[in-house]
Structure 1
């Protein structure tokens, strides 16, 4: 999905900055040099009417999503964080999230389950919005909460005793052991069961990632976008599988 008008204006007014009608410290010439030097794009701003600000807005608004990502990367490279522009440090993760979206970082799709806890529905919606606006790093905590809550709800639906202290890993193990729909069956059932078991082991690593490298806590170091997508997609894959197998029976 391409940048919205609101996002383009946010880049211009709040990240680059406009003062006295000037866009950052761009001159006509440095603006023309910006696209080949920082974005690897052959764009001639002199072909567009208006001021540098108006030309930049028109150019950024009309490029393909892929080229919009290149321009945003160029903006991050060209306009460094500094004390004169405190907004840049705060807004940088948001722009990085837009870049990931524009570059088509794949996210496994998950439908909202019909039977689950209210917190799961809310956490899934929050995760989608955070991925869209701030990037995958900001959504790791929400997808962890969604999957944990949904596994607990699935356990409760078939009478497996769990409580808020039951970890996601333990609850998923209980569900795998007790729910007949998750028993090995069908073509290569044992192999499928091993894949699912391996995914459950992968999810066990979500706990330290969520606790020590996400925005769930004031951690000094956060997951990079590719690693955050890996964690989110692992959780969403299990989520989608559980809902496909148990959605009609829970």
Structure 2
């Protein structure tokens, strides 16, 4: 799961409580201290956001990855114990959200390494930061950039000729057709070939989403969190598979 606006408001209004724009008994300072003290998260800085503590909390919660959302919810239960009837009644809902978030599938981001270009390394770092601070839709472009740049670099390393300014789809197609490390072998090679060829449709969709439903361009409608995470995880899967095969 990923928190939508309605779920965040239910948590704020039905469990924590709001008074005059303040969330529970948080001050600006204690809200900032909450993340390292109760959640074990040290790179969230509410003072960099506009709005009340309530608005900042909702923005932060919705922008985090599922595992960090679960840590924030555990922090909420510790920081605001169920000492009222309303909290006691709503606590099972929060605990259920935590269980769902703990079980949310996620594809790990490729780790930036020295052999990657500076552009690819920075795009991977930017993607992780944007998921946390601005939401998954803002990170789709950076995942696309990292994938595109890395595929171009892998072609260059293997002396695979690309046209001038190749698209992501073209770079992956050239790798798939010409790199010996991507030739399917072993058990069920025919099915593996079909999976590889299906990547073309995934990459085409990823590029379309990046161009038309993310902040990479001035688009009116952006991807929801679930859909943006799907696009990000698809890009990460392709990145990790191709990189692992050609670097064996």
Bin for the TM-score computed over the shorter chain: 0.5 to 0.7
CA 1:184–1:102 in 2, change beyond 3 Å: closer, same or farther? Answer: same
Tell me the equivalent position of 1:177: 177
- 1:98 and 2:56 correspond: no
CA 1:194–1:127 in 2, change beyond 3 Å: closer, same or farther? Answer: same
CA distance in 2, matches of 1:35, 1:139: 26
Structure 2 length as normaliser, TM-score?
0.64
- 1:38 and 2:17 correspond: no
Q: Larger Rg: 1 or 2?
A: 1
Tell me the equivalent position of 2:6: none
Q: Decide whether the 8 Å contact of 1:116 with 1:154 is kept in 2.
A: no
Deviations along 1:9-59, one digit per CA (max 9) or x if unpaired, are: xxxxxxxxxxxxxxxxxxxxxxxxx988834x4x799xxxxx9345x958x
Structure 1 vs Structure 2 CA RMSD: 3.7
SS in 2 for 1:215: coil
1:237 deviates by 0.2
SS in 2 for 1:130: helix
Gaps of 5+ in 2: 1-8, 19-23, 41-50, 71-100
1:91 deviates by 8.8
1:131 deviates by 1.2
CA distance in 2, matches of 1:107, 1:153: 26
Count of matched residue positions in the alignment of Structure 1 and Structure 2: 190
Structure 1 length as normaliser, TM-score?
0.63
Tell me the equivalent position of 2:107: 108
Tell me the equivalent position of 1:52: 25
- 1:165 and 2:165 correspond: yes
CA distance in 2, matches of 1:200, 1:169: 6
CA 1:246–1:107 in 2, change beyond 3 Å: closer, same or farther? Answer: same
The within-5 A match list for 1:223-238 is 223-238=223-238
CA distance in 2, matches of 1:168, 1:36: 41
SS in 1 for 2:64: helix
Tell me the equivalent position of 1:192: 192
SS in 1 for 2:185: coil
Q: Decide whether the 8 Å contact of 1:120 with 1:149 is kept in 2.
A: yes
Gaps of 5+ in 1: 1-33, 46-50, 66-84
SS in 1 for 2:217: coil
CA distance in 1, matches of 2:17, 2:211: 47
Q: Decide whether the 8 Å contact of 1:113 with 1:243 is kept in 2.
A: no
